[in-house]
């Protein structure tokens, strides 16, 4: 519009030569010759097959011609210009030869006068150029003509929505039914065309020779969100863009409501064939499948594999899905190495992380049935943790230790077991094992994940007999204990399902690996070159233990102390860096450090 305004109306007093349509036609041919960005990309992409990229176009010229011979003169001009420009384009990288050009000349003349130019259907003037002439009266006749042409040129079809209830402008409490005609791609009518449902079409509107298919408005009952079986969606435009009925319909749709459309059938049966719906300010005509479904009477999901299981973690997986929803990232992002990051790949990575340990049924898990574990479970799956996350995880673990001390009951499933199920300490052992499995699945994410595992290993309880044996530090018994544990593990695993079994084996493998390290760390074996804190913790019994039975409190505070001490050792290497926190615990570190060393020595004697 702004461009039109800049040109302004022709000045009747100016030289008629300078506002001749010939300038426009020449400019049109020039523009057609210019390579578009898309063509350029396609040519570069195809390299040796560059000639496969086409360059066809159409020139629509609205003018007032003086006579048929004037029209012929215009045609000759276009023909000549194409010829010349194609010669130029042959030797140019930024020009392309025109392979086919359609010239549509629309001669328009004032209402009330006689046309001096006759209509002429499409005619081939040369292998490159075809031309057609339309002679129309000005005003709305021209608009109607353009409406017909636009349908031909862009493969459009027309649908008229009938029975749209609309409040009257004058009498707000009455409503009348209106019709609105829409244009859209003709594929939206594909079912009518193929089935030859002729009674639907054929209602040609006065003045125009085009046909429109009538569909009836179905007032939406609810805002119920449904997933319809839709086979195509095509953008629409009302023919009368700003008429009151049109804007009423489009505003209704733009406000987010959808309208189902019904085929009027003589038999009286109701067939919903289309739906109008807007998506982000664009209105689409959805084609809904109205033919017989090919999936009649399918088996229910409850009849198939896994259909008889009743304790799926449906709510938890729902939460999981919400956390793994997608969102558009329109600005490009880059990885550390400078390569482009694909958001969808990030989404897949996240799914991988979030499902490393994900039991599918309630009776398969303890920790995911415990509210107390949530703060840890929700963050441990993250790619990286903040200091606060680590702190929360540690708090969660301490809290669990506290629960164990207080002998709080755990939500252990008793499905498939006789009697009351496992004893309380056995329950905690199962819970700790599971928690360890979860945390271990993520230790490679970051050093902070590692720290969470270290905390867990320091705090988790072991069966008393196991600790007894460890205290004595006898390698053989250690081994026995290990095999016993493996058996127990297996028993626990047995109730797990096929898909989980493999994962279980993997986890056991990891555990065994960890235990192998423990054995290496026995008095007989040489010191490992890089002693991991967690290994040390498992192997180093607290000093009180060797003196006989201990109170829960001393056991507890001892664990906390050793956990803290380990934390300090971890920081020890970084003491030179500016870290005030490390300094804070300096004295503790010294005390505990000495203790552990002494104990370590003592146990090794």
Minimum CB–partner distance for residue 595 and another protein (Å): 42
Nearest approach, Cβ of residue 222 and another protein (Å): 13
Give yes or no for residue 225 binding another protein (CB under 8 A). Answer: yes
Q: Which is nearer to another protein, 289 or 522 (CB)?
A: 289
Options 131, 151, 159, 250; binder of another protein; rule CB under 8 A: 250
Residue with tokens 């030797």: 91
Token pair for 267: 């038999």
- In the shown chain, the binding pattern of residues 507 to 546 toward another protein, with x for contact by CB under 8 A and - for none, equals ----------------------------------------
Please select the residue that binds another protein; options are 22, 150, 361, 550, rule is CB under 8 A: 361
Binding flag, residue 52, another protein (CB under 8 A): yes
Expressed in angstroms, the distance from the first to the final Cα of the chain is 95
Closest CA to 393 of 406, 408, 381, 403: 381
The residue range among 155-163, 282-290, 457-465, 571-579 that interacts with another protein, by the rule CB under 8 A, is 282-290
Q: Which is nearer to another protein, 361 or 486 (CB)?
A: 361
What is the SS3 assignment for 216?
strand
Q: In the sheet where 56-63 sits, what is the strand order?
A: 56-63, 100-109, 129-137, 120-124
Stretch that binds another protein, among 113-121, 367-375, 496-504, 549-557 (CB under 8 A): 496-504
Minimum Å distance from CB 328 to another protein?
A: 5
Q: Does 36 bind another protein (CB under 8 A)?
A: no
Q: Taking CB under 8 A as the rule, does residue 47 contact another protein?
A: no
Strand (E) or helix (H) holding 100:
strand 100-109
Q: How far is the CB of 38 from another protein (least distance, A)?
A: 12
H or E stretch including 137? strand 129-137
Contact 449, 441 (CB under 8 A): no
Q: Which of 73, 176, 342, 374 binds another protein (CB under 8 A)?
A: 342
Binding to another protein by residue 247, rule CB under 8 A? yes
Q: Is 271 in the site for another protein (CB under 8 A)?
A: no
Residues 122-161 that bind another protein (CB under 8 A): 140, 143
- Please report how close the Cβ of residue 245 comes to another protein at its closest, in angstroms: 12
Q: Which is nearer to another protein, 280 or 526 (by Cβ)?
A: 280
CA 46 vs CA 38, 39, 94, 335: distances in Å: 12, 10, 16, 30
- Beta carbons of 155 and 183 less than 8 angstroms apart: no
The tokens of 454 are what? 């270290």
Using CB under 8 A as the binding rule, the residues of this chain from 156 to 185 that contact another protein are none
Task: Give dist(CA 335, CA 341) in Å, integer.
Answer: 6
User: Do the Cβ atoms of 259 and 253 come closer than 8 Å?
Assistant: yes
Q: Does 295 bind another protein (CB under 8 A)?
A: yes
Near another protein by CB under 8 A, which window of 1-9, 153-161, 392-400, 462-470? 1-9
- The whole-angstrom separation of Cα 86 and Cα 188 is 38
Q: List, as one string, the DSSP characters of 24-35.
A: HHHHHHHHHHBP
Chosen residue from 292, 406, 547, 587 binding another protein by CB under 8 A = 292
Identify which of residues 123 and 153 has a Cβ nearer to another protein in the complex: 153
295 or 553: CB nearest another protein: 295
The residue to which tokens 């008629």 are assigned:
16
Structure tokens at 426: 């056995």
The span of 202-210, 294-302, 427-435, 451-459 binding another protein (CB under 8 A) equals: 294-302
In a 3-state reduction of DSSP, which class is residue 576?
Answer: coil
Site residues (CB under 8 A) for another protein, limited to 537-596: none
- DSSP class of residue 238? E
Please, is 5 exposed, middle or buried when counting C-beta atoms within 10 Å of its C-beta (0-12, 13-18, 19+)? exposed
- Part of the chain binding another protein (CB under 8 A), chosen from 109-117, 123-131, 226-234, 543-551: 226-234
């Amino acid at each position: 519009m702004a461009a039109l305004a800049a040109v302004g109306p022709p000045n009747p007093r100016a030289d008629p030569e300078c506002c001749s349509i010939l300038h426009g036609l020449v400019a049109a041919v020039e523009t057609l010759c210019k390579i578009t960005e898309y063509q350029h990309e396609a040519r570069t992409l195809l390299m040796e097959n560059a000639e496969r990229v086409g360059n066809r176009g159409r020139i629509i010229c609205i003018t007032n011609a003086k006579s048929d011979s004037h029209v012929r003169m215009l045609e000759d001009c276009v023909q000549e210009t194409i010829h010349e420009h194609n010669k130029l384009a042959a030797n140019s990288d930024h020009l392309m030869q025109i392979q086919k050009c359609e010239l549509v000349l629309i001669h328009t003349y004032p209402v009330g006068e006689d046309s001096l130019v006759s209509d002429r259907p499409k005619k081939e003037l040369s292998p490159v150029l075809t031309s057609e002439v339309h002679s129309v009266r000005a005003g709305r006749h021209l608009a109607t003509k353009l409406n017909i042409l636009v349908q031909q040129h862009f493969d459009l079809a027309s649908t008229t929505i009938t029975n749209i209830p609309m409040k009257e402008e004058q009498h707000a409490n009455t409503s009348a039914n209106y019709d609105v005609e829409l244009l859209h791609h003709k594929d939206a009518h594909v079912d009518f065309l193929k089935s030859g449902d002729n009674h639907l079409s054929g209602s040609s509107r006065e003045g125009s020779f085009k046909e429109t298919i009538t569909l009836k408005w179905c007032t939406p009952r609810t805002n119920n969100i449904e997933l319809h079986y839709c086979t195509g969606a095509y953008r629409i435009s009302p023919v009368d863009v700003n008429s009151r009925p049109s804007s009423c319909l489009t505003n209704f749709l733009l406000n987010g409501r959808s309208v189902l459309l019904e085929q009027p059938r003589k038999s009286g049966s109701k067939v919903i064939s289309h739906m109008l719906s807007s998506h982000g300010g664009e209105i689409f005509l959805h084609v809904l499948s109205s033919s017989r479904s090919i999936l009649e009477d399918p088996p229910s999901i409850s009849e198939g594999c896994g259909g008889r299981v009743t304790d799926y973690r449906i709510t938890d997986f729902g939460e999981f899905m919400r956390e793994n929803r997608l969102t558009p990232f329109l600005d490009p992002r880059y990885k550390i190495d400078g390569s482009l990051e694909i958001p969808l790949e990030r989404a897949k990575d996240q799914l991988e992380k979030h499902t490393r340990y994900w039991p599918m049924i309630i009776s398969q898990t303890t920790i995911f049935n415990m509210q107390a574990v949530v703060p840890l479970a929700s963050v441990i799956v993250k790619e990286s943790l903040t200091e606060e996350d680590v702190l929360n995880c540690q708090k969660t673990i301490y809290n669990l230790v506290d629960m164990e001390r207080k002998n709080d009951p755990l939500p252990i499933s008793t499905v498939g077991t006789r009697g009351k199920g496992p004893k309380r300490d056995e329950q905690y052992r199962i819970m700790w094992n599971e928690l360890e499995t979860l945390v271990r699945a993520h230790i490679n994410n970051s050093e902070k994940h590692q720290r969470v595992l270290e905390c867990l290993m320091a705090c988790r309880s072991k069966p008393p007999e196991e600790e007894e044996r460890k205290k004595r530090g006898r390698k053989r018994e250690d081994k026995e204990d290990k095999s016993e544990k493996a058996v127990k593990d297996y028993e626990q695993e047995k109730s797990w399902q096929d898909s989980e079994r493999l994962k279980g084996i993997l986890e056991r493998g990891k555990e065994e690996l960890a235990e192998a390290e423990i054995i290496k760390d026995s008095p007989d074996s040489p010191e490992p070159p890089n002693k991991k804190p967690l290994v040390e913790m498992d192997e180093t019994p607290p000093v009180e233990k060797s003196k006989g039975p201990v109170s829960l409190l001393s056991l507890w505070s001892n664990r906390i102390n050793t956990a803290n001490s380990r934390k300090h050792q971890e920081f020890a290497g970084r003491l030179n860096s500016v870290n005030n926190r490390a300094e804070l615990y300096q004295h503790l570190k010294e005390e505990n450090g000495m203790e552990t060393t002494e104990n370590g020595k003592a146990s090794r004697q």
